[in-house]
Amino acid sequence: MAVGLLMLGGGLVAGVFGSLLGLGGGILIVPLLNLGFGLPLREAVGVSLICVIMTSGASAAVYLERDVANLRLGMLLELFTASGAVLGGAVAFLIDPRYLAALFAILLAYVAWTMLRSAARTSTAPTSMPTGDDGPPGALDPSGPSDAPGSPGEVTAVALAPVAPAAHDHPDGGFVDRLSRPGYHVRRLRLGAAIGVVAGILSALLGIGGGIVKVPMMNLLMDVPLRVATATSNLMVGITASTSAIVYLLRGGIDPFVAGPTAVGVFLGATLGSRTAHRVDLRLLRWLFVAVLLYTAFQMAQRAIAP
């Protein structure tokens, strides 16, 4: 009973943190299960994928109904992220878990660094978010840690500014033209597709949504506005993570007893986080989180060196 409640509570905290800071649950769930509960790293990744799919599914539904996510672009790119996810899912069962731990330590250190950079940039900005008009800064920073499935049921970051009317109808336009909308023109599709494969591999290996790669890719390389890039990345997370989760599930890499309470906790936490984001001073939270990330990176690195 106690362990189950701890998993639920841990998932809840991870969901709240992830939602408030614009991160997906994966970056928190994997260390929690691996370091905190002693679950093998591969199984922790499998459970994390489930959490990521659930949180992204609920918020993607809102993004779609509000027409913020670019469905056509998302579907085209997820063809490549999903391909990478199949590859990553298969490779994950072949490589030594110590390499996975090392890769995860690098990821944690990178996210801590981007959060520090973002915190330094916004140190003079107001820290309490204006009600309803702003979201987790991490999710709005294209170079920052935006793994962001965000928040089930409520959308905190990207659906905040009005979006240009969608142009679903380009009767004379070609296939590629239909991926663009008034206000932006999608560029460098091939590069986006190639990077999408890498994002899929990382997602499958580390149990993350991959937004940390996809959002900057779409925003900085493909000229997609940030709020659309974040929403579209969130939509893509579902297919990317579920493709690799299928591999994990069929190979016995997902423990249902662990996945149940953890995923429910993450879902509830993300919902709670999205509803309280506007009342929270993110500055202190961010520094605290950076400390947690760096400590966890150290622990993961130790596990990589001496498991």
Residues 229-288 binding another protein (CB under 8 A) are 238-239, 241-252, 254-261, 263-264, 267, 274-275, 277-278
Q: How far is the CB of 97 from another protein (least distance, A)?
A: 16
Which residue of 20, 35, 155, 217 would you call a contact of another protein, by CB under 8 A?
155
Torsion over CA of 123, 106, 197 and 80, rounded to 10 degrees? -60
User: How many CB atoms neighbour CB 291 within 10 A?
Assistant: 11
Contact 108, 303 (CB under 8 A): no
Do 7 and 259 contact (CB within 8 A), yes or no? no
Nearer to another protein, 14 or 297 (CB): 14
> Site residues for another protein, window 122-151 (CB under 8 A)?
132-133
Contact at 8 Å (CB) between 147 and 289?
A: no
Contact 150, 157 (CB under 8 A): yes
Gap between the Cα atoms of 120 and 189, Å rounded: 33
d(CA 292, CA 297): 8
Q: What is the distance between the alpha carbons of residues 234 and 58, in angstroms, rounded to a whole number?
A: 10
- Is 8 a residue that touches another protein (CB under 8 A)? yes
Kindly tell me which of 38 and 124 has the beta carbon lying closer to another protein.
Answer: 38
Interface residue with another protein among 18, 24, 145, 152 (CB under 8 A) is 152
| Residue 292 in the binding site for another protein (CB under 8 A) | no
Give the x/- contact pattern for another protein in 36-55, rule: CB under 8 A. -xx-----------x--xx-
Vertex 139, ends 276 and 237: CA angle to 5°? 105
Of positions 13, 64, 109, 198, contacts another protein by CB under 8 A: 64
Q: How far is the CB of 66 from another protein (least distance, A)?
A: 4
Residue of 107, 159, 222, 304 interacting with another protein (CB under 8 A)? 159
Beta carbon nearer to another protein, 105 or 136? 136
Which residues from 180-219 bind another protein, rule CB under 8 A?
none
Site for another protein in 103-122 (CB under 8 A): none
Phi, psi of 249 (to 5 degrees): -65, -45
For the CB of residue 307, give the shortest distance to another protein in the complex, in Å: 19
**C-beta closer to another protein: residue 105 or 163:** 163
For the chain, state the CA radius of gyration.
18
Stretch that binds another protein, among 17-25, 69-77, 211-219, 298-306 (CB under 8 A): 69-77
Measured from the CB of residue 296, what is the shortest distance to another protein in angstroms? Answer: 21
Q: Which is nearer to another protein, 116 or 264 (CB)?
A: 264
Q: By the 8 A CB rule, do 23 and 135 touch?
A: no
Distance CA 11, CA 110 (A): 22
Min dist. Cβ of residue 47 to another protein (A): 10
Q: By CB under 8 A, which span of 23-31, 57-65, 109-117, 119-127 interacts with another protein? A: 57-65
Q: For residues 79-98, which are near another protein according to CB under 8 A?
A: 79, 82-83, 85-86, 89-90, 93
- Write the DSSP string, 85-124: HHHHHHHHTTS-HHHHHHHHHHHHHHHHHHHHHHHHHTTT
